[in-house]
Structure 1
Amino acid sequence: MKWNWGKGIVVGMISFMAFILYMVITMSTDKKYSHDLVTEEYYAKEMKYQTEIDAETNANLLEGEINGILTPEGWLLTFPASIDASSIKGTVSLYRPSNELLDFEIPLAITDGKQLIPDHKLIAGRWNITITWSDGDQDYMYKKSISY
């Protein structure tokens, strides 16, 4: 059998196609390469998106802004003085993009204009904080990405 450049090209193409086929099958069947959506109920969340936009707009219209700083006790959120802590109800949600098992939610409990997210609940890395609250008349939402 004579070996020439034509047979080399065909063998090379077949080898490349076999490699790509192997990678596609491996990536689609191995549980280690899970390709799930970031959030479980993505489409239901998308339907409520306009209410989130309105709530974020309400939060942006407040006098002052919500600030967060790193302290030895955890992440300390400071709220503007215009927020009456006695009349609001809400939650602080922390979302970890790299691991959904680390996500958690705590009730909004503002004391002296501050809310502490305890250090023992947070690990180093990126977190998305979403604070949602209502004063009875309007809904508010604050979103921020932090590096802890």
Structure 2
Amino acid sequence: MKKISWGTGIVIAIIIFVVLVLVQTIYLMNQKVDLVEEDYYKKGIEYQKDIDVQKKTSELSEQVRFDFNGQYLIISFPENLSDNKISGEVLLYRPSDSGLDIKFPLQTDSLSQVIPVSDLKKGFWRVKLRWQYEGQDYYDESSFLVE
């Protein structure tokens, strides 16, 4: 059996290293990358406005409740509000795949909204609630796991 010289060994090691780097680069370049938000940079600039709205929401005497029972997500508004003055939108946000996000208008019935979630793909979901009451903006969010 012929021994490999140290020079040949170094060349083989360099070639293996270069091939591994190229394979890894090609693999990573073909991975799907979803931004958290479509208008990520624009929303980043407006972030202070969102912080102010969240602060105003946290100062409410009663908070919005999110109840998840496996089949339904129930959003309950404070009882001191009038349901016909509440408007807004609900976003069911899937961090791992923006293609699964669902947005729909807020429709309160007796200060609550029931959202069926049994058809959602299994995994982690976040509900983002942007709502208005008597001209004031509010924002609340919660998360749940569909199994």
What is the TM-score normalised by the length of structure 2? 0.84
Letter in 2 for 1:9: I
Q: 1:84 maps to which residue?
A: 82
Tell me the CA shift for residue 72 of structure 1.
6.2
If each structure's helix is expressed as a fraction of its own residues, which one has the higher value?
1
C-alpha displacement at 1:59, in angstroms?
1.0
Report 1:1-148 matches (<5 A). 3-28=4-29, 30=30, 33-71=31-69, 73-119=71-117, 121-148=119-146
Distance in 2 between residues matched to 1:87 and 1:74, nearest whole Å? 24
Q: Unaligned stretches of 5+ in structure 1?
A: none
| Structure 2 segments unaligned to the other structure (5+ residues) | none
* Cα offsets for 1:80-131 (capped at 9, x unmatched): 2233222121111111112222211121122222111123553322111111
Measure, in 1, the Cα distance between the counterparts of 2:70 and 2:15: 59
Count of paired positions: 145
Matched residue type, 2:17: F
Q: Kindly, what percent of the aligned residue pairs are identical?
A: 32
Contact 2:76–2:113 (CA<8 Å) still a contact in 1? yes
The whole-number CA distance in structure 1 between the counterparts of 2:80 and 2:23 is 60
TM-score for the superposition, normalised by structure 1:
0.84
Where has structure 1 moved over 4 Å in runs of 4 or more? none
Q: Given the superposition, is the C-alpha separation of residues 36 and 114 from structure 1 closer, same or farther in structure 2, using an over 3 Å criterion?
A: closer
The Cα RMSD (Å) is 2.2
Change (3 A) 1:13 1:99: same
**Match of 1:13, as an amino acid?**
I
Q: SS where residue 35 of structure 2 aligns? A: coil
Aligned residue identity for 1:20: V
Q: Deviations over 1:23-81 (max 9, x none)?
A: 213432x3xx1234232211111122111111111111111222222246511112222
Instruction: Describe the SS at the equivalent of 2:21.
Output: helix
